Structure 1
Amino acid sequence: MKNKVHKKLNELESTAICGNDISSSVLYVSALAIAYAGQYAWITLLIVSLVLFLFRRIYGEVVGALPLNGGAYNALLNTTSKFMASFAATLTILSYMATAVISANEAIHYLHHLVPAMPIILSTVGLLGVFALLTIGGITESSKVAIGIFLFHLISLLILTGFIAFYLFQNGISIFFENWNFELAGGSIWIAIFLGFSASMLGVSGFESSANFVEEQQKGVFPKTLRNMWGIVSIINPLMALFALALFTIPVLRGDDYQNTLLVEMANLVGGNWVAILISIDAFLVLSGAVLTSFVGVSGLLERMTLDRIMPQFFLKKNKKGSSYRIIIMFFLLTVSVLMITQGEVSLLAGVYTISFLSVMALFGIGNILLKVKRESLPRPEKARWPAVFIAILGVLIALLGNILMNPKEGNPSNVNVFLSYFIPFMIFIIFMLNRTLVLKLLLKFIHYMFDPIRRGVYKMDRNILNFIDKINQQEFVFFTRGDNIAALNKVMLYITKNEHTRKIKIVHVVKPGHQVPENLAVEIDFLDREYPKIKLELIIEEGEFNPELIQELSKRWKIPVNFMFIGSPGDKFSYKVEELGGVRLVI
């Protein structure tokens, strides 16, 4: 039988999957940059493009040398320790989690403008479920959907650009010059550019995604995806910021409506309602594509972590399409739980999204440095220069610092607090998985510490009780039989087993000198011994005459009290009264 060859992704398919994420930033990053940098927003976006250009070589070198899924996790795993790699992986997972929830929720909000009756939360869960099922269906099938969304997005932006250019040709760019002379709130250009750059770095979210599913790509495709993503954000994001500053004044652009749906407002101004509807549909689709990117990226990352035994091996199970469906289902449930906890207030996830994504970028740069130092002989198709690496890392750290220092919206907790509330539980789980044998040993020691005294006490009590039972059962009983009547002997046995605690009974037959022992007595005793295996029967033939003196003599010899000796009911011809026998008991 022929083995089924797993089809790998070409340049367009790979670019579409990660490009939907990074290109969807045009829907919010221009407004975000203007909110902090004002008229200098397009400059901050160009600086972001420069930093991203430097990261192209960094990613190209690391992934070229180590072409395995996992991104920053893979880079640090092969240069440092599992703990540091897991630290990067946790940040990446949080970034994907926040991206999926925010993108899905924002996509439904755009669609809600067209269909007001649509329930937001339920529809968001449905959208997450659709892309979970699509990813379970296989990455190749997912890429076809991604291509459709990606091309529709680029065409929509091209149409919007055409309408904006025509509008500005007719109406001029006087608003842009008015905005250029707008007085900054803080009064400092450098602070405005610093905060604007920090906010604008969110526009490159998704750049790291390609590295997380590099094993699914054809040879030589990965660096092309980096080049294509860089080209998209370098052209579209600064251009849309320039267009926005030429169409609206800065106070208008900083309003809540324009912050959330800037491109729709621009489309409505330059092309009317139908262009606005086109951009709304485009926004819904490309944000949905960002959800797909999250599912594909996290699937590749968690599968690699599972193969490295950081995650439980339960997640390695694949379906016929080659998808790790258990990972995808787990991630889907995680995103839904986050959505329910936040009740649709996904702005609460901004801290998780910001800090985790930028930290992953910084860690990837650090991974590149470690690869140069520790794995210098490892072949790689390209190399990032040392100055470029340090500048790129510095740029990301500046953006990270800026996002930490930014004041959240009124009523919202700080970015760091929100980030830590999600990051700490994830890291606790990862630390447990990395040290699970140690943790289990400590747990075992704790259990022994807590329960060994109890166990020893129970064992001692058990032994004492068993000894006491043995002591009780060691007491012997005596039955004086007159003959070989097995029915009578059996009644004696039944009485003793029901009423007494013993393991041994002496069956005594007193025979007068010159008389014969009943010929079947030994056989019947042997039979009863087998029928009552828990009681040992001993047949004793005693010569003499049965009288009180013999009973007392046997009691002293065997150290068995007289009251533990039994006889059958005596007849009229018996020479002694029962009370003269010293306490012998009647059983039959």
Structure 2
Amino acid sequence: MEKIPEPAEGEWIAIEPPNTTDAPRTCYDYSPAEASTAPPPTFTQSQFDVILRRQRMRPKEGGGLKFTAVPSRFLNLSNDFEFAGWGSFSRVNLTLEDLSHGTETLQEVRNHAVLGQFTASALAGNDILGGVFYTLPAIAAVSSVYSPISLFIATLTLFLWRPIMEELGSALPISGAPYTYLLNVSSKALALVGAALLLLDFASTAVISAATASSYLAGEVSLPFPAYVGTIIVFVIFTAISLSGLKESSRIAFGVLALHVVTMMVLIVASVIAWAQLGTSQLRENWVAGQAPSLSAAVHEVFNGVCIGMLGLTGFECAPAYIAKIRPGRYPSVLRNLHLPAIVLNVTMMLLVLALIPLETILHGDNILSILAQKAAGRWLRTWIAVEAIIVLCAGVLTGILSACELLEQLAHDRVLPQVFLRKIPSTRAPHLIILSFVAFSAVIYSSTGAQLSVISKMFSVVWLAVMTLFPLSLVLLRFSRPRLPRSCQTSMSVVFASVVVALAVIGGNIAIDPTIAGYFAVYFIAIMLVFSVSHNKTQVLRWLYWSYDQYPLLHKWRLTRRWGEQLIKLMTRLRRQPVCILVKGDEINHLFKMILYVCQNEDTSCLKIVHFHDQMTDIPSELEANAKILDESFPEITIDLMLVDGTFEPLTVAALAHHLEIPRSLMFMSCPGPHFPHTTADFGTRIISL
């Protein structure tokens, strides 16, 4: 055998296909009679014969149906719907209409980033500062006279979360966090866990706000119906307001927050004056009556108070949800504006309550701040506090509904929920199905807990802590999976791990205080995850139904049931024909394979487009077309089209391409940009799915 010489350094060896004119015949050229005596083909001949045979089966313009030798799981029915057609190769020139639409899309995004630090703080500030109305009674019940200490410790824990949230916000300045954070740094399944916790958080916010508003009203006037009926009335009113198309305005939120701050300042000043006149006698009496018998008991009460005191910080997790609307560089100031006033307001109010109100009244009173206002300045201030409490709490109900609308609309755009959720009332443009579904879910939570505000409050603490745990988790995944993303700040890993430890410890403490809240939390969370999982894997569920239908041959003989099978096939085919696309720069087949594998594991589609932007023909990677064809053959369940777009890869051309292909930008995937990339991820609006 002739020895092939070793190539010199830097020299390539070209293996040419066999000469078809004078090369020996291959195994496909022999008749069955000659095949037994024919010599075996050479390695080169066999490899090229197989490749050419497969390529001859591929239609030049794409389409057809890709078949495999894998046996069907269906014994009596066809499984053709599980296989897609061959992909195609095309060149795309974006039209002026596409570019114009892309410009409008980017301009609309930029116009939304108009919130300064104070107006942005007001959106979440009404929740976090309004929590004082329902936090104080809950924490006094478990921490007694140690409540100010517990609240102070609880509010200090946010110093752990602020740098974490700032780093996440600088790396991924996109709204919808923590769902969108997890979507860009991990799998879609984990992101849906974040979405489920967020939805439960919004529902708890709406329920507690409505129930507390009804409780405050019932404490001031004699209602002709029970307090739970008042909660239902509040929900009905704000459901109607939401259906009317009212959108949350930052100016309205700022006005409500300004009213709340002024009211609290008046109450603090009046209470301090009353404390100076009364002296410390009431505070000493409360200390004696509520003092723990031992140091260990006191520490235990303080810890329980810290666990419940987290309820007073709810709303802090909402700031990242609208970070894309905040002006660049203002986000850290927003977090500071939410945090520091929460420390002052919660601790000061709890101390003034203990200084002026008997402990027995605190433990059994519903409207503690109204009682404090009565004690400090009389009936006029009590009425003012009650009216202001109802306004702020009702704003919390509306915030919960509108926040849930934004989350569920995003899930519908990401094809987790059916597209029917995007339908809106023509006259008001309100997503009626989303609003009614969320209010119904909130009503289930309220009724299943027996309309007990204390149970819902404790569960709310666990839900909030679970949501807050997602931020350090997202940061760890970001550093591991997307380390090249540029960011303006970096948090110590010790701070990240400390926040996780604190969150887990406080969650355990809340469950230890009342183990039933773990059951409530688990039931609601599992129910939401079940709905999301079934809705996201619609085709898989339909495939199981089709398989069950296949197991009964008798059903295939009846005309009505046979039509069911046909409808199942049409529905599965229609759902899987919804396209997605990946934006690629190079032609490395291992990188392309990983991106396609991500699509297979996270998106329910059989239509994938590989898109490459180029300024000149020489910019096109040499192996991109060949590798796309190989991958198209490797995934028989997906049609993989290759599209070469004439243009520079930038936010404008990506938005124009989204209009051209009629694919949402959230379903256009790209690799992680490097530190010298001139644009941010928020500019593109796409999803990052690889390193």
Provide TM-score, normalisation by structure 1. Answer: 0.70
> Is 1:99 aligned with 2:205?
yes
Answer yes or no: is 1:281 the counterpart of 2:387. Answer: yes
Deviations 1:35-86, CA, capped at 9 Å, x for gaps = 2223322122121122112211111221222122222212222222111111
Structure 1 residue 207: Cα displacement: 0.8
CA distance in 1, matches of 2:431, 2:490: 33
- What residue in structure 1 maps to residue 251 of structure 2? 144
- The yes-or-no answer on 1:421 pairing with 2:515 is no
* Map of 1:304 onto structure 2: 410
Residue of structure 1 aligned with 2:292, choices 184, 195, 199: 184
Structure 2 counterpart of 1:67, from 149, 152, 173 = 173
SS in 1 for 2:486: coil
Is the partner of 1:230 in helix, strand or coil?
helix
Name the residue aligned to 1:242.
Answer: 351
Deviation at 1:163, TM superposition (A): 0.5
Equivalent residues in 2 for 1:48-127, closer than 5 Å: 48-117=154-223, 119=225, 120-127=227-234
1:309 deviation in Å? 1.6
Match of 1:22 in 2: 128
Q: Distance in 1 between matches of 2:279 and 2:480?
A: 55
Q: Which secondary structure state, in structure 2, belongs to the residue aligned with residue 381 of structure 1?
A: coil
What's 2:497 paired with? 390
Residue 317 of structure 2, aligned match among 205, 208, 213: 208
Conserved? CA contact 2:134–2:212, under 8 Å: no
Per-residue deviation, 1:209: 1.2
2:268 equivalent in structure 1: 161
Return the match for 1:295 from 397, 401, 405.
Answer: 401
Kindly indicate whether residue 550 of structure 2 is the aligned counterpart of residue 443 of structure 1: no
Q: Deviations over 1:461-488 (max 9, x none)?
A: xxxxxxxxxxxxxxxxxxxxxxxxxxxx
Amino acid aligned to 1:15: S
Q: 1:137 Cα shift?
A: 6.1
More helix by share: 1
| CA gap 1:189/1:114 in 2 versus in 1, 3 angstroms | closer
Distance (Å, rounded) in 2 between the aligned partners of 1:213 and 1:129: 26
Q: Which runs of 5+ in 1 are unaligned?
A: 409-413, 460-588
Asked if the contact 1:134/1:142 (under 8 Å) is kept, the reply is no
Shift of 1:103: 0.8
The 10-residue stretch of structure 1 (396-405 or 347-356) with the greater mean CA deviation from structure 2:
347-356
Q: Is there any run of 5+ residues in structure 2 with no aligned partner, and where?
A: 1-99, 561-691
Which amino acid counterpart does residue 351 of structure 2 have in structure 1?
L
- Cα 1:19/1:160, change in 2 over 3 Å: same
Contact 1:310 1:433 in 2 (8 A): yes
- Measure, in 2, the Cα distance between the counterparts of 1:81 and 1:275: 53
Q: CA separation in 2, counterparts of 1:124 and 1:147?
A: 25
Does the residue aligned with 1:13 lie in a helix, a strand or coil? helix
Scaled by the length of structure 2, the TM-score of the pair is: 0.60
Who is 1:467 aligned against?
Answer: none
Letter in 2 for 1:437: T
Structure 1 residue 331, shift from structure 2 partner: 1.7
- For the 8 Å contact 1:31–1:262, the answer to whether it is kept is yes
3-state SS, counterpart of residue 213 of structure 1: helix
Gap change, CA 1:123 and 1:142, over 3 Å in 2: farther
Structure-1 separation of matches of 2:503 and 2:228? 33
Tell me the distance in 2 between the aligned counterparts of 1:88 and 1:185: 42
1:379 aligns to what?
486
Give 1:270 shift.
1.0
| Separation of aligned partners in 1, 2:123 and 2:465 | 20
Identity %: 30
Alignment of 1:304-453 (within 5 A): 304-317=410-423, 324-339=431-446, 344-350=451-457, 352-407=459-514, 414-450=516-552, 452-453=553-554
Letter paired with 2:200? L
Q: Distance in 1 between matches of 2:281 and 2:559?
A: 91
Give the alignment partner of residue 264 of structure 1, picking from 370, 374, 381.
370
Secondary structure of 1:78's aligned partner: helix
Cα offset for 1:130?
4.0
1:455 aligns with 2:556: yes
- The CA deviation at 1:415 is 0.6
Alpha carbons of structure 1 residues 347 and 242: separation in structure 2 relative to 1, 3 Å: closer
CA deviations over 1:303-351 (Å, ceiling 9, x no partner): 2222222122222345688765543343233324544555644444345
**Cα offset for 1:267?**
0.8
Larger radius of gyration: 1
CA distance in 1, matches of 2:292, 2:476: 39
Question: CA-to-partner distance for each residue in 1:392-431, whole Å, 9 max, x for gaps?
Answer: 22222111111111137xxxxx111222222222111112
